Amino acid sequence: MRRIDTDILILGSGGAGLFAALHAQAGAPGLRITVAVKGLLGKCGCTRMVQGGYNVALAQGDSVERHFMDTIEGGKWLSNQDLAWTLVTRAVERIRELENELGCFFDRNPDGTLKQKAFAGQTFDRTVHKGDQTGIEIINRLAEQVWARGIARLEEHRAVEFVMARDGGRLAGVLMIDMRSGEFVFVRAQAVLLATGGGPTMYKYHTPSGDKSCDGMAMALRAGLTLRDMEMVQFHPTGLLAGTHTRMTGTVLEEGLRGAGGYLIGADGERFMQRYDERAERATRDIVSRSMFRELRAGNATPNGGVWLRMDHLGPDSVRQRFKGMVERCADCGFDLAGGQVEVVPTAHYMMGGVMFEADCSTTVPGLFVAGEDAGGVHGANRLGGNGVANSTVFGGIAGEVLAQWVPRNARSVEPDEAQIERAVARCKEPLGRPAGDLEPIREALYELMWRDVGIIRDSEGLLRARDALVEIGAQLDRTGVDGRDLRFNLSWHDWLNLQNLTLVSRAITESALMRENSRGAHFREDFPEPGDLDTSEYMCLSLRDGAFETSRRRVQFTRVKPGQSLLDNTANAAAAADAGTRAGAGGGAGGATASAAPMK
């Protein structure tokens, strides 16, 4: 087995991983930093696929308090408020870094200020973007800097197991597979950042790239870490529905289309969103997806089983100019987005749940840190469009800064648990010793099961059915072998490993959904349709012990604002107080009255 030593190992090369690498090197130039990625650095993962943009409070009239309240209310009061506050405040710093230090070019207004567009679920137009190719711009610039600074890369290496130190006191490193050779590789590291991203590709319709299979979350579960909010799987309302013959089906048509005034039309030719929410198509993703699903169940479906997205009333030329990438994508599939209509369907997009972590990105395992979609608690029950790439870059940067300080203070020679490495290798090799079978029926069964029973609308009957069916899918996978004569780029082997991870994480989603007997954000139970008491909100936690889940509920700590209150009241009152003080000073000097901020409401 090949063995590599490094100081900092970063798993993943999206916004979180690359920002962490750059910040870690800036903070401690002498440390050895290695980025390991399942595909090619800069060419894979979900950050590159971001179309919509980056939420940040910059414009006059907006504020970090307003952004924070939109995030908390969008998350249905389940977010860790300190993490959410870190997100909205550090996003201001991070967007300047992206522009001024890394060289990102974002769209601008005629006066030179950053152009910010409307996104659903927000009270202010705050989404910075570069047309509809924001993620490509960000990842290209980050990747250029990583290449230029000589940070070590392990491309086409998939992580399969966190390996503890022989004494059990801390993490020793990560077991990986070099996909090019099929060889196992152990990377010993003083510290590891988990930033592989989530990717709910266990659903029939999904947006993430084919290399995403919840590897990091599955590794965290096998390592005994606690995950939270796993029932909260976000479905993006407008996934392209192009038929079963193309992998383009499920890919996102960005939120900005609805934010700009796009219409969702049923098979009857009528808009329907205003019947479900006063914001109509600009409601939050969970509401729009659920409304669409109800229309589909009622039979108001297009030929391929979706609804129509129409933009032509906004002017075809304007649509082509503003959404060039989306127009071209649709044209490739035979649709005219600018002048006609496009079939869309809700598509699994993002996982709000993940590993529990602190504001410094640390976890309960010494030496293991987490950032990005692998981490849970920032978004609560629903992520606002535009907060995803902000989350990755904000906490990726923080992780890099912390790692640069943590490693020199805690560096010591760490020997791995060799028995654990042997067990992990044996687990990965299990299918190689069995007769080769067909993985496609197993994958399709998982897709259909999760879409039908653990999808947009849930109930106890379907969730219990899914719990049993997932055990059977796992058993069927265990009985299925793959041809192991040549392990170089053996995609069947990696498909098997992907399905193992997806099945485990699907079980976690199902268990959390069974625990939550109310409806919040992305999680909707028809048998428990009410949201429950916001003041006593709880989040669901689970961990894996000896193959079974241990579950618990924990009370949300309202550290900054409580349900029924708003930080905007304090902001407005403080502004009024300052204005009153200015007027009083101008009129009568020291004798002028000064207003004080009123309590939050």
What six digits make up the tokens of 600?
């939050």
The confidence score (pLDDT) of residue 575 equals 53
In contact, 232 and 380? CB cutoff 8 Å: yes
- The Cα 198–Cα 75 span in angstroms is 18
Domain edges within the chain: 13-232+350-418, 237-347, 433-538
What six digits make up the tokens of 172?
């020793």
- The Cα 340–Cα 391 span in angstroms is 35
In contact, 78 and 512? CB cutoff 8 Å: no
Spell out the residues 6+ positions from residue 156 whose beta carbon is closer than 8 angstroms to its own.
Answer: 37, 38, 39, 40, 178, 179, 180
Predicted confidence (pLDDT) per residue in 198-250, tens digit: 889 999 999 998 789 999 999 999 999 999 999 999 999 999 998 878 878 88
What six digits make up the tokens of 55?
């939420």
Which one-letter amino acid corresponds to residue 453?
A: D
Spell out the residues 6+ positions from residue 363 whose beta carbon is closer than 8 angstroms to its own.
Answer: 194, 225, 355, 356, 357, 369, 370
- The Cα 6–Cα 403 span in angstroms is 13
Whether residue 571 is predicted with pLDDT greater than 80 in this model: the reply is: no
CATH number of 13-232+350-418: 3.50.50.60
Rg, C-alpha atoms of the chain: 24
Maximum CA pair distance of the chain? Answer: 91
Predicted confidence (pLDDT) per residue in 249-307, tens digit: 888 898 889 989 999 999 999 999 999 999 999 988 889 999 999 999 999 999 999 99
**Summary mean pLDDT of the chain:** 93
Strand 2-11 versus strand 183-194 pairing type: parallel
End-to-end CA distance of the chain: 61
The CATH class for the domain spanning 237-347 reads alpha beta
pTM for the full model? 0.92
Block residue for tokens 């409601």 = 283
Whether residue 580 is predicted with pLDDT greater than 60 in this model: the reply is: no
For residue 354, the 8-state DSSP code is E
Instruction: Indicate the Cα dihedral angle 64, 352, 377, 512, nearest 10°.
Output: 150
Predicted confidence (pLDDT) per residue in 99-143, tens digit: 999 999 999 999 999 999 988 889 999 999 998 889 999 999 999
Q: Which residues have a catalytic role annotated?
A: 236, 258
CA atoms 495, 497, 503, 506: torsion sign: negative
Structural domain 433-538, CATH architecture: Up-down Bundle (1.20)
Strand 307-310 versus strand 2-11 pairing type: unpaired
Q: Which of 10-24, 316-330, 543-557 has the lowest mean pLDDT?
A: 316-330
Burial group, residue 484, by CB count within 10 angstroms (0-12, 13-18, 19+): middle
Residue 277 CA: distances (Å) to CA of 239, 253, 291, 297, 307: 20, 21, 9, 18, 17
What six digits make up the tokens of 178?
């070099």
Strand 33-37 versus strand 2-11 pairing type: parallel
Q: How many CB atoms lie under 10 A from the CB of residue 599?
A: 8
Q: What counts of helices (H) and strands (E) characterise the chain?
A: 15, 18
In contact, 223 and 365? CB cutoff 8 Å: yes
Predicted confidence (pLDDT) per residue in 422-449, tens digit: 999 999 999 999 999 999 999 999 999 9
